[in-house]
Amino acid sequence: MKFSDGYWQLRPGVVAAHPVEVHDVVAGEGTLVVHAPTTPIRHRGDLLRGPVVTIGLSSPMPDVIGVTITHFAGEVPAEPRFELAVEDGTTAKVVDEDGVAVLTSGALSARVGGGDGWGVDFTAGGRALTSSGAKAMGFMTVDGEHHVRDQLTLGVGDVVYGLGERFGPVARNGQAVDIWNADGGTGTEQAYKNVPFYLTNAGYGVFVDHPGAVSFEVGSEVVSRVQFSVPGQTLRYFVVHGPTPKDVLRRYTALTGRPALPPAWSFGLWLSTSFTTSYDEATVTGFIDGMAERGLPLSVFHFDCFWMREYHWCDFRWDPETFPDPEGMLERLRARGLRVCVWINPYIGQASDLFAEGVAGGFLVRRPNGDVWQGDQWQPGMALVDFTNPAAREWFAGKLDALLEQGVDCFKTDFGERIPTDVVYFDGSDPVRMHNYYTLLYNRTVFDVLRDRRGEHEAVLFARSATAGCQRFPVHWGGDSESTYESMAESLRGGLSLGMSGFGFWSHDIGGFEGTPSAGVFKRWIAFGLLSSHSRLHGSGSYRVPWLFDEEAVDVLRVFTKLKARLMPYLFEAARQAVGTGVPVMRAMVLEFPDDPACTHLERQYLLGDSLLVAPVFTDDGTVSYYVPEGTWTRFTTGDRVRGPRWTTDRCGFTDVPLLVRPNSVVPVGAVDDRPDYDHADGVTLHVYELADGTTATTPVGDAVFTTARRGGVVTVEAHAAPPGWRVLLVGVGAPASVEGGTGTEHVQGVLVQADRDRVVVVVRENDSGGRPS
């Protein structure tokens, strides 16, 4: 929300009150409370006037400082609230430095007051990060409605990212962003996944602890500040120190939650019936047979909406005319090694038997007069499950549990954005705050059923809506895209933005959802989709099996599905990193290269894990331009070298995409190419790239750990708890001077060593350049 009219004036109807000085400071055990009047105190008479701003500072964990700005403290605390972690034993030091109150947590400090003016400065390591200065913090009354806001400064070159899955430019500078979930597709300023957290390249991030409507002006009202505001009497936010963007994500996700580890099978290819297409078991079997006959590995089959009867969404019952033997069908799919996903949402159509059950049990969201809230926007007469009611959650979960008993493995949790505010919840939650938060209760209910029934590491969703904290329940997909190159690009921007908002896993509809893609778009999107964390073929009114496009599409899908299966030892470790650190599997370039100014605005390429650079192709003719950071990078498929920093342009066939390996990398490649869930260490090959002298790299693969070191011309690889049969490929290296612990043979990309012990030593010939520069 914009409050000002230019720099000097306020908009009509706006009244502002800003703190102007520190009146007193109350220091507690690791806390500061500051009272700051909004008019200068010249004499005692000025003490009779308000308002006075109360600012509270505290720290839930090292390097994170919370700021609470309050006008009237008597406001009834509203629910829901984000569930935040507070680390035991966290200490924050409070000192008085020449009249300046300072709260320090880890390396991060907040300094309040000092001099003749007003300000809250955030510093770390002797460096200013950001600050709230004159007329930044305050109370803004707009036509009688009270808001609390703050503005934090942006330095020259500071760039802002995140705020959820947003489809416009990844750099948020210059944008106005409303945190309000909406079903707006992937081509507008609306978003399915709104997260009130932004990340900067300046050593910090900011999380606004408010589940409802939060308004951000990112250098768009005052171009040198990020403004955020909420309605009401109180605003709380946290400044999260890095110093690197990955450090910020690590701390932010420690505060709001990290994702569960999805099962390995979920990383394989998912094939859908699509949305409004006609299908039955014969259709499904035909698709699966067609994939098998063409050598196309398939992991999950997804049944979209019409697995249930029309007008009966959601009653969680198979359409008896289309699927007369669901248990038998599921068993037949299971016998083929497939997992099954079915579509659900939290809306109950009036024709569903569950509607009457929900009304009788008090399980549906109601209007203030006691009526069940109903609408016709999605299903005729639809109502909403009230997930604030424990009995409603148990009722809903029981319906899902019956499907799991039948043989279903996971759920696509669609919708959850169009949540009304003129309603009453069972637990008295504020309906405006529940609008965004509803999706967290919905997805957690479904995820908990899967975890309870299938086990800790077998639960996975395919979810569309989200807010802060929903990253705990992966996986999320990008919503309803168009079948165009432009929409493919906006989908990538959304995924990179979501990754910088704390979400570790993300997917999208290969080929786009709305419309039917051209063969070119479909084939280019396949490469992007299979080099994403999760991969699904899905559409709206047309099928997405590749032979309906052309025979080359079959070849393209085979190449990239098999490539992803072979990369599973590497990808699953990237998944473990996301679970342990909050750093996403698909990473915007700035996450890995925050000091490279060329990376600050890159949004058509990304790192998959920490070592693979992917540049999707957005043209039929295969022309693609991308940036290669400093160092000697290696093309994964050919072994050719590319020296950065530089921009480069390639011309790729449909079975190719720029896939470059970062220098000083060890990429474990699996021995299986027809499924993702295998023993990743059995027969693994460690691809070693440009290992610098003095470097040691540790590579976990399942329960095995490999340690690779280079000292001068000697490369040593030691295996711990690894099954026999592992190999090492020294990429770009010619015939070695000697090999101990294995047998070396020439390889098109270098030298391949078959280990016969737990330790391999390769002596590389001096001045061995290897490879071909480009």
Q: Which residues of 103-133 are buried (b: 16+ CB within 10 A; e: fewer)?
A: bbbbbbbbbbbbeeebbbbbbbeeeebbbbb
Is the CB of residue 491 less than 8 Å from the CB of residue 478?
yes
Active site residue 514: no
Burial pattern 142-168, b for ≥16 Cβ within 10 A else e, equals: beeeebbbbbbbbeeebbbbbbbbbbb
Reply yes or no on whether 310 is catalytic.
no
Quick one: which of 160, 161, 169, 166 has its CA closest to 178?
166
Sheet holding 120-124, edge to edge: 93-97, 100-105, 108-112, 120-124, 127-132
Catalytic-role residue among 217, 247, 417, 490: 417
Which are the contacts of 27, defined by CB distance < 8 A and separation ≥ 6? 94, 96, 101
Asked about 620 being catalytic, the answer comes back as no
Q: 508: closest CA among 182, 253, 185, 265?
A: 185
Q: Cis omega (within 30 of 0) on the bond before 676?
A: no
Please report where in the chains the tokens 């942006």 appear, as a residue: 154
| DSSP 3-state of 572 | helix
Q: Is 196 helix (H, G, I), strand (E, B) or coil?
A: strand
Lateral strand order in the sheet of 750-755: 665-669, 685-689, 727-731, 750-755, 742-747
Q: Give the Cα separation of 437 and 762 in Å (integer).
A: 56
Residue 688 CB contacts under 8 Å (≥ 6 apart), including other chains: 665, 666, 708, 715, 717, 728, 729, 730, 731
In the three-class reduction of DSSP (H, G, I as helix; E, B as strand; rest coil), residue 649 is classed as strand
Q: What distance in Å separates the CA atoms of residue 582 and residue 412, rounded to the nearest whole number?
A: 23
d(CA 353, CA 392): 15
- Looking at residue 154, its amino acid is L
* CA distances to 42, 59, 249, 469 from 84, in Å: 42, 12, 15, 9
Of the candidates 63, 150, 247, 414, the residue annotated as catalytic is 414
Cβ-proximal residues to 248 (8 Å cutoff; 6+ apart), any chain: 199, 200, 203, 204, 205, 240, 241, 242
The four Cα atoms 470, 473, 474, 478 give a dihedral, to 10 degrees, of -40
Whether 751 contacts 729, CB under 8 Å: yes
> Are 365 and 392 contacting, i.e. CB atoms less than 8 angstroms apart?
no
DSSP state of 170: S
Distance of alpha carbon 464 from alpha carbon 443, whole angstroms? 10
Beta strand 704-711 with 383-384 is unpaired
Place of tokens 């098999």: 562
Q: How many residues does the chain have?
A: 774
In whole angstroms, give the CA distance from residue 411 to residue 345: 9
| Peptide bond connecting 652 to the previous residue in cis, omega within 30 degrees of 0 | no
- Torsion, CA 415, CA 421, CA 424, CA 426, rounded to 10: 40
Q: By three-state DSSP, how is residue 546 classified?
A: helix
Structure tokens at 319: 């359409």
Q: Which of 480, 514, 592, 690 is catalytic?
A: 480
Residue 331 near residue 407, CB atoms below 8 Å: yes
In order of 65, 90, 149, the CA distances from 70 in angstroms are 16, 24, 10
What's the token pair of residue 752?
Answer: 């391949």
C-alpha span between 410 and 338 (Å, rounded): 12
Query: Which residues are annotated as catalytic?
Result: 414, 417, 480
